[in-house]
Chain A
């Protein structure tokens, strides 16, 4: 079991190519914790914007009558990957982990696997 701060630190330190991470409450759009980012990349802006992404997908799935749950969402930019992993269980409902990766350095399969493990260990 890890807390938010440790989990975010671990994400940034152990996932190759990670440049920023956040734990976001998508019922409010606010970040519970952020790490990394830069002056030009405000993780609080990303948290609010990606809340809309997650909500839109959840709503679309409801409209389509899909019963499954979102595990993760991958957004591929020309030079970055953005990975959104929805948390489940242990009070993690309504939260997602958001990870920014440098596309040149990251191993997507490994990053996804590691983020899944960090999410499983995280207790909010």
Chain B
């Protein structure tokens, strides 16, 4: 995946558009950081936790016949952690304060997820022009992991709203 720079650009644009965001991270479904803009939060730990949560979410959606994974929202005392599907192999995780406009977060998160998915796909096609014909055969079954104790501390940012 050679789309890191473009994906990082997208994360910066997203954070500029949605000022209530306190962090944004794009990670592969198996927990590796692709691009990150998460001040105050350790990205590797967040990516690993995202993958673990995603594994459960995918299975839960599957077990209740809700189809493919789309998004996951966690609300804590001080804010939100939202994860959106970004194509078959990447997810976008966003952090936002507790006064965040969740409606807006969803709209921008979904849109951005779609865009990041397209960027990653385009980079994958570019990297293997000869095998491009058999590309959709990418089996993106997210690995589930046992939850690690990688502890990420999110400080409550003193939001003025």
Contacts and interface: CB of A to CB of B under 8 A. Distances in A.
A and B are partners in one complex rather than unrelated chains: yes
A48 B101 contact: yes
Contacts of B104: 29, 48-49, 51-52
B102 interface: yes
Contacts of B100: 29
B52 to A, nearest CB: 26
A72 to B, nearest CB: 20
Interface in A53-69: 55, 59
Interface centre among A29, A31, A45, A52 (most CB of B within 10 A): A29
Main secondary structure of the interface of A (DSSP, over half): helix
A123 B153 CA distance: 40
B103 A44 contact: yes
Contacts, number: 32
A112 B140 CA distance: 53
A30 interface: yes
Given A28-B101, A29-B101, A51-B101, A45 B107 contact: yes
A-B residue pairs, 6 tightest by C-beta:
A29-B103, A48-B103, A29-B101, A48-B104, A28-B102, A30-B103
B161 A48 contact: no
A45 B107 CA distance: 7
A49 B18 CA distance: 11
Contacts of B102: 28-30
A52 to B, nearest CB: 6
A30 to B, nearest CB: 4
A51 B103 contact: yes
A45 B103 CA distance: 8
Contact of A44 (B105, B107, B161): B107
A55 to B, nearest CB: 7
A15 interface: no
Nearest to A44: B103
Interface string B6-50: 000000000000000000000000000000000000000000000
A45 B108 CA distance: 10
A87 interface: no
A100 interface: no
Interface string B55-88: 0000000000000000000000000000000000
A31 B102 CA distance: 10
Contacts of B106: 30, 48
Contacts of A12: none
